[in-house]
């Protein structure tokens, strides 16, 4: 059998396997794209466009709001001249697969035809039957999204939920007290969407943290407000910018008094103290929730870049080991860090790895990450797919892209005698379908 035939046969075999999508941003009742902007201005494509010279690098209006037609159309027209520069990228390959397979569109997108394509997408925007058919076509048996995007529960049969709310260890561009602000933003409220990635967008909060007692009260409120039993996991960020350490109460109290002049030292103190306090509270519910977090995407003015110091990996290992009754699961955006994280997954029973996230979601990086994990990490400690999609069409594009890379990786292992064809599909089924159930508690839809 030729290598090309083996890859094709594996891709067909993978297409028949059931899949669980462990992390998305889909909205209940609005699973699909609302217009061409949701496909062509997905944030990963915006980054490509901005890098190619398009003037706008910011995301469109985000949920719970939606872009107006005026905003969406203006941004689409602005992007059109830069599309020819993106034809080489794997992200735009995803766009082409989505358009050709789901919308029967193979033409280049131009100033003369984009409105026609936009109309085709909008025609399907409210067709929930069609949206569900995309999931069925992919054999995706359940999808996890944010609790705040549940809507009225219309999609509960298809969706399960994570809590993406406070981000106490996320670094924001040009900010030094994000841990405190995010805690204030949540204090006294019910779970809602997290603050936008871009720093500086800080509406006033209902409560303000002044003292150490305030910190303790706010952390306890947050932990108690988590809807245990209705969510599977957190969905938060652990920044590599911070120097994590155990902070004394005296140090934290002193840092709080310096908030108005806070710098890097205070920033690290706030994040370390709040994080440790929160994990200690969450560990009390260790059998009810997984601390799922992203790692290695650090802020720039609009989005992020892949950066992760070795120091952070050592400190992360200490944090995980310090909370043995809490399960941790990492989405890593740093390609070089994957091997180190694999060694941690082998030595820390409560630490696991999932998928290919953000700056790793490119074919070469996916293959490297996948191959290293298959060689180093037991199948019950790794989740093989999450799309991070904001609409179902991008779930489709990313699922196809991962499936193609998995076929290549498995083919190499078959050719070198490591797996048989049947074993390779059993291993793929384990990480795509079985492990999300045992690690996260995902429940397949019948």
pLDDT tens digits, residue range 391-407?
Answer: 999 999 999 999 999 99
- Overall average pLDDT of the 190-197 stretch: 86
Q: How confident is the model at residue 200 (pLDDT cuts 50, 70, 90)?
A: low
Q: What is the domain class of 130-440 according to CATH?
A: alpha beta
Contacts for 404 with CB less than 8 Å, ≥ 6 apart: 11, 363
Cα separation, 327 vs 390, whole angstroms: 26
Question: Would the pLDDT of 98 be above 70?
Answer: yes
pLDDT higher than 80, residue 192: yes
Q: What is the pLDDT of residue 196?
A: 81
129 or 446: whose pLDDT is higher? 129
Evaluate if residue 203 carries a pLDDT over 80: yes
Q: Please name the residues in contact with 359: beta carbons below 8 A apart, sequence gap of 6 or more.
A: 296, 297, 304, 305, 306, 333, 334, 335, 365
Q: Is the pLDDT of residue 199 over 70?
A: no
Side-chain-side CA neighbours of residue 90 (13 Å): 15
Give the strand pairing for 19-21 and 290-295: unpaired
What is residue 301's predicted lDDT score, i.e. its pLDDT? 87
Residue 189 has pLDDT above 80, yes or no: yes
Residue 2 predicted with pLDDT over 90: no
**CB-based contact 315:245 (threshold 8 Å):** yes
Distances (CA, A) of 441 to 317, 355, 389: 24, 16, 20
Taking only the tens place, the pLDDT of each residue in 242-288 is 999 999 999 999 999 999 999 999 999 999 999 999 999 999 999 99
Q: Where are the domains of the chain?
A: 34-124, 130-440
Q: Is pLDDT at 218 greater than 70 in this prediction?
A: yes
Tell me the sheet residues that pair with 331.
294
Q: Is 80 exceeded by the pLDDT of residue 355?
A: yes
At 306-322, the pLDDT tens digits run 999 999 999 999 999 99
Q: What pLDDT is recorded for position 446?
A: 76
Gap between the Cα atoms of 212 and 178, Å rounded: 16
Are 391 and 39 in contact, with CB atoms under 8 Å apart?
yes
Enter the pTM of the model. Answer: 0.96
pLDDT digits (tens, 9 = 90+) for 320-333: 999 999 999 999 99
Residue with tokens 């037991």: 378
Q: How confident is the model at residue 202 (pLDDT cuts 50, 70, 90)?
A: confident
Residue 197, pLDDT score: 77
- Cα–Cα distance between 381 and 369 in angstroms, integer? 14
pLDDT in tens, 137-175: 999 999 999 999 999 999 999 999 999 999 999 999 889
Number of H helices, E strands in the chain: 17, 11
Token pair of 91 as six digits: 């992200």
* Contact in structure between 43 and 302 (CB atoms under 8 Å): no
Rounded average pLDDT over 76-99: 98
Nearest Cα neighbor of 78 from 56, 52, 48 is 56
């Amino acid at each position: 059998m030729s290598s090309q035939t083996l890859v094709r046969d594996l891709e067909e075999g993978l297409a028949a396997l059931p899949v669980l999508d462990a992390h998305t941003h889909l909205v209940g009742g609005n699973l699909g794209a609302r217009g061409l902007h949701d496909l062509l201005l997905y944030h990963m494509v915006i980054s490509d466009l901005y890098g190619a010279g398009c003037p706008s690098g910011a995301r469109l209006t985000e949920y719970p709001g939606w872009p107006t037609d005026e905003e969406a159309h203006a941004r689409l027209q602005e992007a059109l001249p830069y599309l020819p520069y993106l034809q080489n990228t794997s992200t735009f390959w995803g766009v082409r697969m989505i358009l050709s397979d789901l919308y029967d569109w193979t033409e280049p997108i131009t100033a003369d035809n984009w409105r026609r394509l936009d109309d085709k997408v909008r025609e399907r925007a409210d067709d929930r039957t069609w949206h569900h058919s995309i999931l069925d076509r992919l054999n995706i048996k359940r999808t996890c999204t944010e609790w705040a995007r549940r809507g009225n529960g219309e999609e509960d049969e298809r969706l399960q939920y994570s809590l993406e709310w406070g981000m106490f260890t996320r670094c924001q561009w040009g900010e030094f007290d994000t841990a405190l602000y995010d805690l204030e933003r949540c204090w006294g409220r019910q779970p809602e969407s997290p603050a936008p990635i871009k720093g500086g967008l800080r509406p006033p909060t209902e409560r303000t943290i002044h003292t150490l007692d305030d910190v303790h009260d706010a952390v306890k409120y947050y932990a108690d407000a988590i809807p245990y039993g209705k969510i599977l996991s957190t969905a938060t960020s652990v920044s590599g910018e911070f120097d994590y350490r155990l902070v004394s109460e005296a140090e934290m109290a002193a840092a709080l008094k310096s908030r108005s002049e806070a710098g890097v030292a205070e920033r690290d103190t706030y994040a370390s103290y709040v994080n440790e306090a929160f994990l200690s509270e969450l560990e009390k519910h260790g059998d009810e929730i997984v601390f799922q977090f992203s790692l290695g995407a650090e802020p720039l003015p609009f989005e992020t870049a892949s950066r992760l110091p070795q120091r952070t990996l050592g400190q992360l290992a200490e944090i995980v080991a310090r909370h043995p009754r809490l399960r941790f699961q990492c989405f890593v955006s740093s390609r070089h860090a994957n091997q180190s994280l694999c060694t941690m997954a082998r030595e820390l029973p409560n630490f696991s790895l999932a998928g290919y996230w953000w700056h790793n979601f490119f074919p070469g990086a996916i293959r490297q990450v996948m191959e290293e994990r298959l060689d180093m990490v037991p199948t019950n400690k790794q989740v093989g797919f999450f799309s991070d999609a904001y609409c179902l069409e991008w779930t489709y594009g990313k699922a196809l892209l991962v499936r193609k890379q998995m076929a290549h990786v498995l083919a190499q292992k078959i050719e070198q005698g490591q797996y048989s064809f049947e074993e390779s599909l059993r291993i793929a089924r384990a990480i795509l379908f079985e492990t999300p159930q045992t690690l996260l508690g995902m429940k397949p839809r019948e």
